[in-house]
A and B are shown apart, each in its own frame.
Chain A
Amino acid sequence: MSSKAISVVTSTAVPLKIENVDTDQIIPARFLKATNREGFGKNLFRDWRYIDNDENKPHEDFVLNQKKYSGKILVAGKNFGCGSSREHAAWAIKDYGFDVVVSSFFADIFRNNALNNFLLPVVVSDGFLHKLFTAIIADPSKEITVNLPSQTITLDGGDSETFQISDYKKTCLLNGYDDINYLLSQRAKIEAFEKSI
């Protein structure tokens, strides 16, 4: 199994109870000047994390600054990842240490970017999202299990929901394959298509 592959994640979670989180909040444009993919995690939610852009002045009430919350799962309000197509947003979330983002609704481009970086976007119902927020906030030590093979998300102690993902993407994530590997294997078909147009 490739090191990128993702299968079952059991972890505590960080509750980001905000809707319409856009990719400018996830990683502001002024941090997009790097020409590699690494190191964006330290600027994740930069302007929500720090007062006046000063790392010595954290916003105490922002979830990433609250010591009680940690883990590999980010739970966020609906329409997560809207706005700019910057893949740096997915890189920042992954680099910070999250493997899964749960929301009731993801923006299309972010969702593709997340999948291409082995960051699993899990779509749950509004009701289940509400349950997750309530449970995590009441007890931050509560664990959530996201099981990709069975396509289920389970809250420690019982409540569970299934989530959708295409067979193709599921196979990719479970085996650490990416779309480029697939497309390169289809080169003959692509060349034949070009001749047909």
Chain B
Amino acid sequence: MSKTLFEKIWEKHVVESIADGPDVLYIDKHFIHEVTSPQAFAGLEKRGLPVFRPQKTIATADHNVPTLHQELPIKEALSRKQVEKLTENCAKYGVELYGLGHPFQGIVHVIGPELGITQPGMTIVCGDSHTSTHGAFGTIAFGIGTSEVEMTLATQCIMQGKPKVMRINVEGKLHPGVVSKDIILHIISKISASGATGYFVEYAGSTIRSLSMEARMTICNMSIEMGARGGMIAPDEVTFAYMRGRKFAPQGPDWDMKLEEWKKLKSDDDAVFDRELNIDAGDIEPMITYGTNPGQGMGISDTVPDPEKLQDESERNALRKSLTYMGFKGGEKMKGMHVQNVFIGSCTNSRIEDFRMIASLIKGKKKSPDINVMIVPGSQQVAAQIVKEGLDKIFTESGFFIRQPGCSACLGMNEDKVPAGEYCVSTSNRNFEGRQGPNARTILASPLTAAATALTGKISDVRELLNVNPA
């Protein structure tokens, strides 16, 4: 019988199917970080259990680390304690840790792929919803809660109901100035913040195939923002070229053997999906969000939707609430509005390609004096590569300062926050109320749109800076 890629990988990892219950799913790789793991280790201790397969878990510190002066002890006591607890737990249970100061440290979803730990056909979990990022390599990767982190540490398995499968086909050529972040924001705006709940998504089509691995990761990363359990892309030559020679990727004869396996990882031609959605790449503009969930997005030349025109009472109230929080009115244009902050970073957009893309836009131009810009690379390796390619000089000459790796103002757990009431054009993944700090107002956008905004001080259409005509 023909099968989807998702089904092939899932079935290969089922240890046991419980009648009228979940499957016991074997996990190939488990990533942990300081925020969602301490209670899991405490659980193991209480039960008197070891970590069952410590070599299959990799740890890093990212969510709650400072992005300045990482060489110094963390000032804030609770944050310091949380990071120290991770170090203690990893030493005690024999788990490899890429902590602060380690050359491999960084955002968990940036380091897994760049180190070659993430490999096609794997099952991957992490106590973080953006684990879906790793799906860009043709893996089943999804976020879990701390009880499930404990399960994985204790047994290398978790218990999961098998989700339905959706395919999203993106076909055609992107307009200049439109990048992968715009594709995924466009998809979520079409399907809504809950439209893919209960599904695992496979992204396919000529547009997806044409994207680099970094761009594919941005798309898979935000699968959770439409409610999907995860997102994946079948591996291809782009995937294999990216992986070859990476630190933990197979080498020599092992590589050749694995490559043969990986080449078979795709949905059968006549595989049936529970749902399919077709997107025309030519319809996509640079995107921005106007509301307080990632489904509330629009093209930059559009106007904010008017709640009073909505028929459904609960939808009308929800949109009113969002716009009140954001300080926007139905019918107005956002392009040209002044904003106080720009954040460039997060597991969505902090990879080397993002920095290359921004550098090419800002080269020879100056940052607006009216705007605070926070730029945070995804990992120590990305930070080192920025210097190696001389991109740091371009940033410095344009008036930008690059901080040290971490999750930073994406979730505002550390001191990197957007002040109350202020706007922030952000390359991150969530525009929820208070996400970047109490009463902060987040506008999600691509790295290009964020960088254009940093140059002008206003929400900007990057196509005007690139001298290309908006479609």
Contact = CB atoms under 8 A, between A and B. Distances in A.
A66 interface: no
B193 A167 contact: no
A77 B194 CA distance: 12
A79 to B, nearest CB: 4
Contacts of B146: 87-88, 113
A20 interface: yes
Nearest to A80: B194
B127 to A, nearest CB: 6
A139 interface: no
Given A77-B314, A186-B15, A107 B197 contact: yes
- Among A28, A53, A167: residue with most chain B CB under 10 A: A28
Interface in B396-452: 411-413, 430, 432-435, 438-439
B227 A19 contact: no
B26 to A, nearest CB: 6
Contacts of A107: 194, 197, 227
Given A85-B144, A86-B36, A183-B24, A35 B81 contact: yes
Given A28-B438, A189-B16, A82 B227 contact: yes
Nearest to A171: B21
Interface in A65-113: 77-79, 82-88, 90, 105, 107-109, 112-113
A4 to B, nearest CB: 12
Contact of B413 (A25, A33, A47, A197): A33
A182 B23 CA distance: 12
B432 A24 contact: yes
B434 A32 contact: no
A37 B46 CA distance: 13
Interface stretch (B93-101, B156-164, B298-306): B156-164
B73 to A, nearest CB: 16
A187 B433 CA distance: 43
A20 B194 contact: yes
A108 B147 contact: no
B197 A116 contact: no
Contacts of A32: 35, 63-64, 413
A53 B151 contact: no
B35 to A, nearest CB: 5
A186 B24 contact: yes
B198 interface: yes
B334 to A, nearest CB: 21
A78 B144 CA distance: 21
B193 A180 contact: no
Contacts of B82: 33, 35
Interface string B377-413: 0000000000000000000000000000000000111
A47 B146 CA distance: 24
Contact of B438 (A18, A53, A193): A53
A117 interface: yes
Nearest to A37: B39
Contacts of A52: 438
A179 B147 contact: yes
- Among A35, A88, A107: residue with most chain B CB under 10 A: A35
B21 to A, nearest CB: 3
A25 to B, nearest CB: 6
A29 B154 contact: no
A190 B36 CA distance: 25
B35 A180 contact: no
A87 B43 CA distance: 14
Nearest to A28: B434
B247 interface: no
A178 interface: yes
Contacts of B75: none
Contacts of B214: none
A39 to B, nearest CB: 12
A20 B193 contact: yes
A63 B382 CA distance: 46
Contacts of B154: 180, 183-184
A3 to B, nearest CB: 15
A156 interface: no
Contacts of B172: none
Contacts of B318: 18-20, 77
Contacts of A30: 412-413
B372 interface: no
B227 A79 contact: yes
B227 A189 contact: no
A173 to B, nearest CB: 12
A85 B145 contact: yes
A35 B129 contact: no
Contacts of B69: none
Contact of B432 (A25, A78, A88, A168): A25
A1 interface: no
A2 interface: no
B129 to A, nearest CB: 4
A193 to B, nearest CB: 4
B134 to A, nearest CB: 14
B471 interface: no
B194 A180 contact: no
Contact of A29 (B157, B159, B411): B411
Contacts of B39: 35-37, 87
10 contacts: A20-B318, A28-B438, A36-B42, A82-B227, A85-B144, A87-B36, A105-B197, A183-B151, A184-B49, A186-B15
Given A84-B411, A112-B160, A186-B155, 17 more contacts: A29-B63, A33-B35, A33-B81, A33-B413, A83-B129, A83-B430, A86-B35, A90-B145, A107-B227, A108-B229, A109-B143, A179-B148, A179-B151, A183-B24, A183-B155, A183-B159, A190-B24
